[in-house]
């Protein structure tokens, strides 16, 4: 979990922001949070660091089709999935074990589940 090579103030703030907000957050939300609690950090720096944090596996990128990415700290919770409300955008963690997850998750958290997306990422034979 080493990001870049220097432990900067900006990086500390970004880590703390994501941790405190405790849900998948967008770059803009991180920006807003930092602005309110510390001295402002440039959005471009936030994007650059999120990119680094993702490459170095410090954060996960989570997608709900809102037109932007959300980020979550990787070391905080174990591997898990999400439930996204298409009405209000509320997000819930799903920490059930993966066998039969897709069946068992029905009505978890009182949600009425309409669909799910499951995508795998890796490298194809040519790119390995």
Q: Footprint of a second copy on this chain (CB under 8 A)? A: 60-65, 69, 81-88, 90, 92, 94, 98-103, 105, 108-128
Binding to Zn ion by residue 124, rule CB under 5 A? yes
Does 66 sit near Zn ion (CB under 5 A)? no
Any contact of residue 44 with Zn ion (CB under 5 A)? no
Our CB check for Mn ion shows the closer of 41 and 53 to be 53
Residue 62's φ and ψ, nearest 5 degrees, are -125, 135
93 touches Mn ion (CB under 5 A): yes
Number of Cβ within a 10 Å radius of residue 114: 6
User: Per residue, what are the HEC states of 55-70?
Assistant: HCCCEEEEECCCCCEE
């Amino acid at each position: 979990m080493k990001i870049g090579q220097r432990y900067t103030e900006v990086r500390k703030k970004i880590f703390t922001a994501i941790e405190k907000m405790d849900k998948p957050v967008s770059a803009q939300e991180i920006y807003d949070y930092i602005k309110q609690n510390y001295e402002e950090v440039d959005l471009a720096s936030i994007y650059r660091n999120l990119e680094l944090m993702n490459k170095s596996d410090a954060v996960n990128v989570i997608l709900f089709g809102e037109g932007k990415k959300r980020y979550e700290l990787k070391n905080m919770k174990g591997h898990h999935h999400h439930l996204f409300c298409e009405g209000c955008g509320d997000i819930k963690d799903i920490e059930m074990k993966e066998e039969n997850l897709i069946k068992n998750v029905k009505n978890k958290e009182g949600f009425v589940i309409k669909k799910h997306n499951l995508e795998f990422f890796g490298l194809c034979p040519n790119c390995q």
